[in-house]
Amino acid sequence: MTDTSGTYAPLTPETLGQRLGNIAAIREKLGNNSSTWTIKEVGDGNLNLVFIVSGDKGSIIVKQALPYVRLVGDSWPLPLRRAWYEYNALIRQAERDPGSVPEIYHFDEGQAIIAMEFLTPHVILRQWLMAGKKHAGLAERLGKFCARTLFRGSDLSMDTAKRKADVRLFAESVELCDITETLVFTDPYFQAERNHHTPGLDPLVAEMRRDIDLKVEAQHMKAKFANNAETMLHGDLHTGSVMVTETETKVIDPEFALYGPMGFDIGMLLANFWMAFFAMPGHLKDAAKRADYQQWILGVTDEIWSVFSAEFSRLWRTERNGILYEKCLFEDQGQPLGSEQALGHYLAHIWQDMLGFAGVEMIRRTLSLAHIAENDLIEDETLRAECEARGLRMARQLVVNRTRIPSMANVLDLARQISERTPV
Amino acid sequence: MTDTSGTYAPLTPETLGQRLGNIAAIREKLGNNSSTWTIKEVGDGNLNLVFIVSGDKGSIIVKQALPYVRLVGDSWPLPLRRAWYEYNALIRQAERDPGSVPEIYHFDEGQAIIAMEFLTPHVILRQWLMAGKKHAGLAERLGKFCARTLFRGSDLSMDTAKRKADVRLFAESVELCDITETLVFTDPYFQAERNHHTPGLDPLVAEMRRDIDLKVEAQHMKAKFANNAETMLHGDLHTGSVMVTETETKVIDPEFALYGPMGFDIGMLLANFWMAFFAMPGHLKDAAKRADYQQWILGVTDEIWSVFSAEFSRLWRTERNGILYEKCLFEDQGQPLGSEQALGHYLAHIWQDMLGFAGVEMIRRTLSLAHIAENDLIEDETLRAECEARGLRMARQLVVNRTRIPSMANVLDLARQISERTPV
């Protein structure tokens, strides 16, 4: 599966067939005659080339890392090695939650190429949300994905020598961690060079950048992110990293994978739903439809958390074979309630971290370099500022009060209150 | 400085001169004629050979790791690589707190040998405490050692790429981490094979092993130890890892070094003073002398924490150049009080962890494999059980109530109350 062939060179639609035409695993998916393959570049990300390659027998995705950030060009170099992290994360996610991620057909470390399953007719969840489309199995799938990958990548479950080896593997990912550490946790809170925001937010942004409580708590979240290697994270689990059809949900793009705190992935995920909730006035003009869809979005986040909690609890009771909270101290002593007590504390700890990371994500997606399409595509700047401001006000509450918000009902009430009452 | 010479073979007093006689750095300290060196084996530890080697010009210590636990023999193998961790920890501690650790003259990775400064007339602090001797600069030195090594080994201070490289380096130390994870955090809480305790403690031990609150909280401390890579720890900072004279204090033996939580080293250190406090009835028979010395011990722990806090705060204000709590968000915005607020939270977090780790250490040193000389040398078993029981009762309070103990005054009151009032 791993192959290192020659000096790195970016693929082009012209060279791809020739360069990958002899790889058996790829021929098997596409057919043997690479000269008949059709190749379409579809990458809209910032960091990679992405091709859909089709042949007689079928289609695949070929993804190749670029040595710099595409949006910015040569001035922001990024290590090709991130394809290695993505590959390693994908095979672990596939093992921990089978069927949750695209299947890998071929990996070339030196060329930073991953050939994988072409998901069709899947679309990016973010597009789906902007279109006001519902999806019955979404929360179930995402909640389980989080529970399974987080639990099974941790010292609750893994052999600790293997976990420590994985911590070492992903701790090499310095440049990608730096992107998150800087763009997510620091830049939004002062006038950093790469920041931008909707002009109408100026007064609120100024207020937030003077807000000591907010800045201190955001830094506490950064300390957790940088130091608490609780489990292998996807690292960039927003609604642009999820692809859906009416019946299927897949998680993609884990190149930012790292060992970090349990609450990070699920916090980032819920944050992106909550931002979509606030952005809806820019996408669904019909008030009744909008109210209904907004209610659906909140319900999805409620369900993601409850599915996550239930699945995490199930794994805690059935697969807790790691070095933490060992059964020899509880179940084996006839004290299963001891492990239930610990589970309650552990879920409360994830809950609080989740709220903090969600708030931090909502702030950075409005004030830092990378924003979300749901807001960017609102052309009316006044309306966009209103939607974004509501998100920022909710985010501030989540970050600062995360240890005192008892349940999802309170979080959703907060979102509704802000949506209905808050002026910009 | 690093040298790998041939297949590993344990040194003996007979072979040492011949094997190390050609090393320039060692000849410089001892004199050139290795046939006149006198060699004395002095190791009393479980894991290593230790020799004092003396020549015309002076003396050095030669420490060599053994491939197994000495006490147990071949049945418990331990990687020689721990000499590598010890070497790496020593050079970092020397840089972060100059003069705090023995100087290294020579390191041979393949032979697992470190040749270093012979500390004389230093004695192990634990002996000093059993003899009822005071030392004016002790708390100052140890408090600063903790503050400087903990602060300067963390993302508060280091370049984060270097810190991540160090996290990777020490995360290889799987077997030594396993010793701490198992013997400190799990074994004491159930009938594990390697446990032993003074028979008079039976009822209390049974009570503690049924104590769900205690066991759950101890496991929370284990989760922090295993996952929160906040800084480079000494990893085994008890009073047997400190050598003192009337005027000098040195810290030795960091072979258990790892990345872990800020509160661990200082918690383990204070725990060992508190256990010595409770053991004093076994060593100082004169009631007035004993009361005075016990008061002195408590005062030392009080001072270690206050020196630690003050030095940590000084470094926070002057050397906070890492990726956490960056100055661009606080001082550079004319908001130094923001960074003071964060410092308060950060110290409170270390305080709570410190109390938890202290309690865990006191319990494992009484119920797990490795005990402390202060208790082991009390021949009267009833008295020994009394001293140990008091330590256990204090430990339980520290572990379970660590988030609700506001200050050192409360901790010391607790120790005094237990010492004066508690029956076994």
The three-state DSSP-derived secondary structure of chain B is CEECCCCCCCCCHHHHHHHHCCCHHHHHHHCCCHHHCEEEECCCCCCEEEEEEECCCCEEEEEEECCEECCCEEEEECCCCHHHHHHHHHHHHHHHCCCCCCCEEEEECCCCEEEEECCCCCEEHHHHHHCCCCCCCHHHHHHHHHHHHHHHCCCCCCCHHHHHHHHHHHHCCHHHHHHHHHHHCCHHHCCCCCCCCCHHHHHHHHHHHCCHHHHHHHHHHHHHHHHECCEEECCCCCCCCEEECCCCEEECCCCCCEEECCHHHHHHHHHHHHHHHHHHHHCCCCHHHHHHHHHHHHHHHHHHHHHHHHHHHHHHHHCCCCCCCCHHHCHHHCCHHHHHHHHHHHHHHHHHHHHHHHHHHHHHHHHCCCCCHHHHCCCCHHHHHHHHHHHHHHHHHHHHHHHHCCCHHHHHHHHHHHHHHCCC
Contact B329, A190 (CB under 8 A): yes
B330 contacts in A (CB within 8 Å)? 212, 215
Taking the CA of residue A249 and the nearest CA in chain B, the distance in Å comes to 31
B178 contacts in A (CB within 8 Å)? 160
pLDDT at residue B2, rounded to an integer: 46
Is pLDDT above 80 for B378?
Answer: yes
B164 contacts in A (CB within 8 Å)? 171-172, 174, 177
Nearest CA in chain A to B182: A323
Cβ-Cβ pairs closer than 8 A, A with B, add up to: 138
Q: What is the pLDDT of residues B219-277, one digit of tens each?
A: 999 999 999 999 999 999 999 999 999 889 999 999 999 999 999 999 999 999 999 99
Is pLDDT above 60 for A331?
Answer: yes
pLDDT at residue A45, rounded to an integer: 61
Are B223 and A324 an interchain contact pair (Cβ–Cβ within 8 Å)?
yes
Task: Report the percent of chain A where pLDDT is more than 70.
Answer: 96
B171 contacts in A (CB within 8 Å)? 164, 167-168, 171
Reported for B247-253, long-range contacts at CB under 8 A and 24+ positions apart, including other chains, are: B247/B137, B248/B122, B248/B137, B249/B125, B249/B135, B249/B137, B249/B138, B249/B141, B249/B142, B250/B100, B250/B101, B250/B102, B250/B119, B250/B122, B251/B93, B251/B100, B251/B101, B251/B142, B251/B145, B252/B101, B252/B102, B252/B119, B253/B45, B253/B86
Q: What is the pLDDT of residues A196-253, one digit of tens each?
A: 999 999 999 999 999 999 999 999 999 999 999 999 999 999 999 999 998 899 999 9
Confidence of residue B5 (pLDDT cuts 50, 70, 90): low
Using CB atoms, which residue from B155, B216, B341 is nearest to A345? B216
Are A172 and B190 an interchain contact pair (Cβ–Cβ within 8 Å)?
no
Are B229 and A227 an interchain contact pair (Cβ–Cβ within 8 Å)?
yes
Enumerate the domain spans of chain B.
Answer: 2-117, 123-421
Are A167 and B167 an interchain contact pair (Cβ–Cβ within 8 Å)?
yes
B341 contacts in A (CB within 8 Å)? 212-213, 216
Q: What is the pLDDT of residues A274-323, one digit of tens each?
A: 999 999 999 999 999 999 999 999 999 999 999 999 999 999 999 999 99
Confidence of residue A377 (pLDDT cuts 50, 70, 90): very high
The CATH architecture to which B123-421 belongs is: Alpha-Beta Complex (3.90)
Beta bridge partners of B232: B259
Phi/psi zone of residue B334: left (φ > 0), alpha (ψ -120 to 50 degrees), beta? left
Are B181 and A323 an interchain contact pair (Cβ–Cβ within 8 Å)?
yes
A326 contacts in B (CB within 8 Å)? 186, 219
Q: What is the pLDDT of residues B12-66, one digit of tens each?
A: 999 999 999 999 999 999 999 999 999 999 987 668 999 999 999 999 999 999 8
A190 contacts in B (CB within 8 Å)? 328-329, 332-333
Nearest CA in chain A to B262: A227
Are B210 and A329 an interchain contact pair (Cβ–Cβ within 8 Å)?
no
Is pLDDT above 70 for A1?
Answer: no
The CATH architecture to which A2-117 belongs is: 2-Layer Sandwich (3.30)
State the complex-level ipTM.
0.95
pLDDT at residue A43, rounded to an integer: 80
pLDDT at residue B73, rounded to an integer: 62
CB atoms within 10 A of CB B172: 18
pLDDT at residue B1, rounded to an integer: 44
Using CB atoms, which residue from A219, A229, A335 is nearest to B325? A219
Taking the CA of residue B386 and the nearest CA in chain A, the distance in Å comes to 26
What is the pTM (predicted TM-score) of this model? 0.96
DSSP sequence for A346-358: HHHHHHHHHHHHH
Are A226 and B324 an interchain contact pair (Cβ–Cβ within 8 Å)?
yes
Is pLDDT above 60 for A136?
Answer: yes
Give mean pLDDT, residues A124-140.
Answer: 95
